[in-house]
Amino acid sequence: MEAGVEQEQLQQEAELNQEVNEEEVESQMEKVKAELEVQSQHTARLESSCRALERSLGQSGKRLQEKEQELEQLTKELRQVNLQQFIQQTGTKVTVLPAQPATEIYADTESLKRLGSSRLLPSNPRSLQGSLNPEGIYV
């Protein structure tokens, strides 16, 4: 009879241990699920940040390209102004056309005709030096 009681006690302990193990496993699974949820939310935030960064980078690239085009246009205009000033200082009459975007320049070749001056420049560049400026004018 003692063997039957002992067998019953062992069976109850085994059932109790199994219940404790199942509770521990469920507790650990809940922790893992919570951690996965946190990581999933973090991943979603990172992906959203990446998309926003990509949009911002695209806009910055576009603005940079616009600024480069503006700089190129201003550089062309500055060269024309410098040329006009040089020609005025040397006494030559010239009409400078307004700067055109590159697409218009290639499309309208008629606008590229060279304008003649009202008088010919001397063939010797030394004669272009002013009497007050012995160094001459350099472009």
CB atoms within 10 A of CB 88: 11
Residues with Cβ within 8 Å of residue 139, at least 6 apart in sequence: 82, 83, 86
Mean pLDDT over 21-40 rounds to: 94
Lowest mean pLDDT among 43-57, 92-106, 108-122: 108-122
What pLDDT was estimated at residue 61? 97
Q: How confident is the model at residue 8 (pLDDT cuts 50, 70, 90)?
A: confident
Q: Give the whole-number percent of the chain exceeding pLDDT 90.
A: 47
On the question of pLDDT at 111 being above 50, the answer is: no
73-86 in b/e form (b: 16+ CB < 10 A) is eeebeeeeeeeeee
Mean of the per-residue pLDDT values of the chain: 79
99, 73 Cβ separation under 8 angstroms: yes
pTM for the full predicted model: 0.43
Collapsing DSSP states into helix, strand and coil, what is residue 47? Answer: helix
Mean pLDDT over 39-47 rounds to: 97
What pLDDT was estimated at residue 91? 82
pLDDT digits (tens, 9 = 90+) for 10-28: 888 888 888 888 889 999 9
